[in-house]
Amino acid sequence: MNEYGTRVAANLADVRRRIDDACRAAGRDPAEVRLLPVSKTFGADAVRAAHAAGVRVVAENKVQELQAKAAELADELPDLGWAAIGHLQTNKAKVVAQLATEFHALDNRRVAAELDKRLATAGRELDVFVQVNSSGEESKFGLEPDAVAAFADELAAFGRLRVRGLMTLAANTADTARVAGCFDTMAGLRDRLRAGGAPGSWDELSMGMSGDFELAIAHGSTCVRVGTAIFGVRPAPGGAGAR
Ligand SMILES: *Cc1c(COP(=O)(O)O)cnc(C)c1O
């Protein structure tokens, strides 16, 4: 294994240990929390390294990047799944329907309808997470928390979508109480959806990234999406490459 591969393996082990520690501190079973490595901006070598260290699903936030890496690695790593975790435009739904094993950023009916149609054509189903704007930040995608219950009812019309739960990006701030507030909003919303019998399993909370995954686990996360802590610092857009 090359030097970068060794580093990715060590970082993965470190993140897994931190997840286990956070679970224990919260009185939770580590088996309840899945680590979803985010390989965006890194090349196929990074994905190969993660796969060699036991990873079987990696996440991308841009459809074109997912498509390119999936094509490059399809023959070599046939057991690798791809999670699409970024905002999706209707015209890219076809690619997600064909290639992704899960989609974490569902926040409008048009994309749901297009995915459902394309999945039917492909003879596939897809695990989906409804993205919620838990921080109130205008720059963030996702439904307002109050709009999720009605959206959940609408999703019942789309038989190819397996509704698994909710996803969010918490406020991007060093104010831990505010970040925790975002996660609590999500856990409360999940509980209400379950209690209200919304169609779907609603057993998943996709929340927590490199900077806040331990806090997310303390507040009920079942899936942490971690990039930087595994693959390294991403190159600044247009800047010199660094990892
Ligand atoms: C990039 C990204 C992550 C991972 O972010 P890190 O801070 O690098 O761990 C998680 N979720 C989404 C939606 C992302 O785009």
Assess contact for 91 and 68: CB atoms under 8 A.
no
pLDDT band at 238 (very low <50, low <70, confident <90, very high): low
**Nearest atom in ligand 1 to 211's CA:** 7
Q: Where are the alpha helices (DSSP H) in 53-158?
A: 63-73, 93-99, 109-122, 148-155
Q: Is residue 239 part of a domain?
A: no
pLDDT at 242: 39
What's the 164 CA to ligand 1 centre distance in angstroms? 20
Report the alpha-carbon distance of residue 120 to residue 196 in Å, rounded.
28
Whichever domain contains 106, its CATH number is 3.20.20.10
**Nearest atom in ligand 1 to 226's CA:** 9
Q: Is residue 236 part of a domain?
A: no
Lowest mean pLDDT among 72-76, 213-217, 219-223, 234-238: 234-238
What's the 88 CA to ligand 1 centre distance in angstroms? 15
pLDDT band at 57 (very low <50, low <70, confident <90, very high): very high
Q: Is residue 200 part of a domain?
A: yes
Q: Is residue 240 part of a domain?
A: no
Read off the pLDDT of each residue in 7-16 and give the average, rounded to a whole number.
98
Read off the pLDDT of each residue in 201-228 and give the average, rounded to a whole number.
98
72, pLDDT greater than 60: yes
Which residue range(s) make up the domain with 71? 3-231
Q: Is residue 243 part of a domain?
A: no
Q: Is residue 242 part of a domain?
A: no
Read off the pLDDT of each residue in 20-36 and give the average, rounded to a whole number.
98
Residue ranges lining ligand 1, Cβ < 6 Å: 38, 40, 61, 85-86, 169, 209-211, 225-229
Question: What is the per-residue pLDDT across 117-136, written as a single tens digit (0 to 9) for each?
Answer: 999 999 999 999 999 999 99
Residue 105's alpha-carbon distances to 14, 77, 110, in angstroms, are: 27, 25, 13
Q: Is residue 49 part of a domain?
A: yes
142, pLDDT greater than 70: yes
pLDDT at 199: 87
Instruction: Domain count for the chain, please give it.
Output: 1
